[in-house]
Structure 1
Amino acid sequence: MLPKAHTHFPQTAIYKKAQEIFALSRNISQYFIHDFSALNEDGTEQEHIYFTGDIVQQSVSLAPQILKAEQQAFSESKEKHIASITRLTNALYRNCERLERTHSNGKDFLPILRKELKKFRKLQRNWMLTL
Structure 2
Amino acid sequence: MIPSFPNKLPHSPIYKKAQEIFTLSRHISSYITDDLAVLREDGKEDPSIYFGGDIVQQSISLAPEILKAESQTYAEEKHKYAASVTSLVNRLYKNCERLELANTNGKDFLPILRGEIKKFRKLQRNWMLTL
Alignment of 1:1-131 (within 5 A): 5-6=4-5, 8-131=8-131
Give the count of matched residue pairs: 128
TM-score (norm 1): 0.94
TM superposition shift of 1:5 = 4.2
Identify unmatched segments of 5+ residues in structure 1.
Answer: none
Q: CA-atom RMSD, angstroms?
A: 1.2
What is the CA distance between 1:6 and its match in structure 2?
3.5
Instruction: For residue 43 of structure 1, report the CA deviation from its aligned partner.
Output: 1.6
Counterpart residue type for residue 84 of structure 2: S
Structure 1 segments, 4+ long, off by >2 Å, are: 4-9
The residue identity in structure 2 corresponding to 1:63 is A
Deviates more, 1:61-70 or 1:8-17: 8-17
* Greater Cα shift, 50-59 or 32-41: 32-41
Unaligned stretches of 5+ in structure 2? none
CA distance in 2, matches of 1:14, 1:65: 11
SS in 2 for 1:40: coil
Code of the aligned partner of 2:76 = E
Residues of 2 paired with 1:33 and 1:98: CA distance? 14
Identical pairs, percent: 65
Q: CA–CA distance in 2 between the matches of 1:128 and 1:99?
A: 29
Write the letter of the residue equivalent to 1:23: T
